[in-house]
Amino acid sequence: MEKKRTKDSIGAYAVQCGKCFKWRLIPTKEEFETIRENFIEDPWFCDKKPKFSCDDPGDIEYDSSRIWVVDKPNLPKTPPNTERMLIMRKDLSKMDTYYIMPNGKKVRGIGDVEKFLEAHPEYRGTLPISSFSFTPPKVMEDTVSSNSEWKASARNKKPKTASPDDS
């Protein structure tokens, strides 16, 4: 029986130019992770994108038409044959980070990675613990306004609880 895969909550990947501060879309998660992994030593500039320069308009505007999350720079690239998943909580307060291991098992922390490697020693050489980061991206609160449809839909999904006035 095949396990149902959870869809990552990230809809698009973007990086901000270190010169003009415009946002540029990055076509794949893998390319974004490569940029993020070395961002401090190798900042990103518009001219790294073929046929682009700082004179071109940005690909995407930072605004509240979507929820923005920002990853820390220099997080390690996801190890081969694994997938780093980021799932937004229903209340939009933060994201949860976990990895799907080569056998489909979900791990939620370094302790789980260590247990996985103990149970599957064949992966010890290819999945170093230092390649896993459970640091979630920061949800940019200014893009999650109280008037947004996301907040409204999240509020509507919360279970109702009895208040002291209901007795």
Q: Write the pLDDT tens digit of every residue in 82-106.
A: 999 999 999 999 999 999 999 999 9
Q: Which CATH class is domain 75-147?
A: alpha beta
Q: C-alpha angle with apex 124: 121 to 130, nearest 5 degrees? A: 145
According to CATH, where is 3.30.40.100 located in the chain?
11-62
Per-residue pLDDT, 41 = 95
- The boundaries of every CATH 3.30.890.10 domain in the chain are 75-147
pTM, entire model: 0.80
pLDDT tens readout for residues 120-136: 999 988 999 999 999 99
- Residue 167 pLDDT class (50, 70, 90 cuts): very low
pLDDT given for residue 15 in this prediction: 96
Instruction: Return the pLDDT at 8.
Output: 82
The per-residue pLDDT for range 12-45, each reduced to its tens digit, is 999 999 999 999 999 999 999 999 999 999 999 9
CATH of the structural domain 11-62, one choice from 3.30.365.10, 3.30.40.100, 3.40.50.1820, 3.30.465.10: 3.30.40.100
pLDDT in tens, 42-83: 999 999 988 889 999 999 999 988 999 999 999 999 999 999
Nearby residues of 113 by Cβ (< 8 Å), 6 or more positions away: 99, 107, 127, 129, 132
Containing 98, the helix (H) or strand (E) segment is: strand 95-100
| 29 to 25, 74, 78, 139: CA distances (angstroms) | 11, 15, 10, 18
Question: How many Å apart are CA 31 and CA 106, to the nearest integer?
Answer: 23
Of 97, 121, 120, 125, whose CA–CA distance to 109 is shortest? Answer: 97
**Whether residue 152 has pLDDT greater than 70:** no
Averaged pLDDT for residues 111-126: 94
* 156 pLDDT tier (thresholds 50, 70, 90): low
Amino acid making up residue 25: L
